[in-house]
Amino acid sequence: MKKELGIPVKVSVSTDYNTIVEAMGSKKVDVGFLPPDAYVLAHKEYGSKVLLQAERYGYKQPNDQPTNKLVDSYKSQILVRKNSGIKSIEDLKGKKIAVQDTTSTAGWIYPVVELYQHGFNINKKDVSTVQVKGHDQGVMAVYNGTADAAFVFEGARTLVQKDAKDVMSKVVPIYTTKGIPNDTITVRKDMSSKWDKKIAQAFKAIAKTKKGHEIISSVYSHEGYVDAKDSNFKVIRQYDKIAKKIDQ
């Protein structure tokens, strides 16, 4: 990145996206890797601008087989044990579901909203929930029988396949949500258009190098980047609005 931009670059890592959002708002951070919900928050609170969306390989079901097609969105799935007798979302009534934090797009917001649209209000005790940390833990909760179902991103089963070799046959999806916009590369509000272009070009160039691709693929599961605009995230705002209504 230093070579591409021609200026010193300092990289910092945070496990809390809200911290990145606030740091961008206070001009302590110029560029952030933000998932869709965090970008929407950054744009709302501080006027942050989206430059790029990540591309990843899509998946072919039922066994999370990667395709050779790059896509700029992903999906959430509801997983269950194959022998559980749960065949559809209607069968989830009264069951225990492993979920992520309520800010997680794939681990909470999208599946909760789409369940609501099918007549299930997760906050009205139609189901019970247990919060787990990490989509791999959601998969394992179903695999080990500590939860009847889990909300995870499509492809999450591959995270545990090394230790749970039969996970594809024992844990299966019964529902897949609509597409969720991929992660963003976002800049602070007052970044000049000149630097917007330079930063976007730099990330695209880095993704095309062997070393750069290895880094973004291993750390973020990104395969490349495409131009993005704020209107791409209208759907996120719509889902967030419904999710807040459900929470009330």
Helix, strand, coil % over all residues of the chain, rounded to 5 = 45, 25, 30
Tell whether the model's pLDDT for residue 219 goes beyond 90: no
Residue 165 sits in the same domain as residue 240:
no
Determine the residue type at 62.
Answer: P
Bridge partners of residue 78, in order along the sequence: 151, 175
Residue 116 sits in the same domain as residue 26:
no
- Give CA–CA dist 132/142, Å, rounded: 11
Region 133-139 average pLDDT: 96
Q: Which two tokens stand for residue 3?
A: 């070579």
Give the residue with greater pLDDT, 122 vs 40.
40
Residue 52 sits in the same domain as residue 7:
yes
DSSP 155: T
- Give CA–CA dist 18/28, Å, rounded: 13
Tell whether the model's pLDDT for residue 124 goes beyond 90: no
Q: Comparing C-alpha atoms, which of 149, 215, 185, 148 is closest to residue 53?
A: 185
Q: Comparing C-alpha atoms, which of 201, 31, 247 is closest to residue 239?
A: 247
Percent of the chain scoring above 90 in pLDDT: 82
Region 162-190 average pLDDT: 97
Let me know if residue 62 belongs to a domain: no
pTM of the model: 0.88
pLDDT tens digits along 108-121: 999 999 999 998 88
Let me know if residue 172 belongs to a domain: yes
CATH code (residue 99)? 3.40.190.10
Tell whether the model's pLDDT for residue 248 goes beyond 70: no
Residue 130 sits in the same domain as residue 193:
no
pLDDT tens digits along 44-95: 999 999 999 999 999 998 889 999 999 999 999 999 999 999 999 999 999 9
Domain that residue 203 falls in: 2-56+182-247
Tell whether the model's pLDDT for residue 247 goes beyond 80: no
Determine the residue type at 35.
Answer: P
Task: Answer with the one of 123, 150, 178 that is the final residue of a domain.
Answer: 178
Residue 203 sits in the same domain as residue 162:
no
Q: Comparing C-alpha atoms, which of 41, 3, 50, 8 is closest to residue 23?
A: 41
Percent of the chain scoring above 70 in pLDDT: 100
- Average pLDDT, rounded, for the chain: 94
DSSP 89: G
**Residue entry with tokens 């630097």:** 195
Give the residue with greater pLDDT, 127 vs 45.
45
Residues 105/179, Cβ–Cβ less than 8 Å: no
Tell whether the model's pLDDT for residue 148 goes beyond 90: yes
- Give CA–CA dist 134/56, Å, rounded: 19
pLDDT at residue number 29: 95
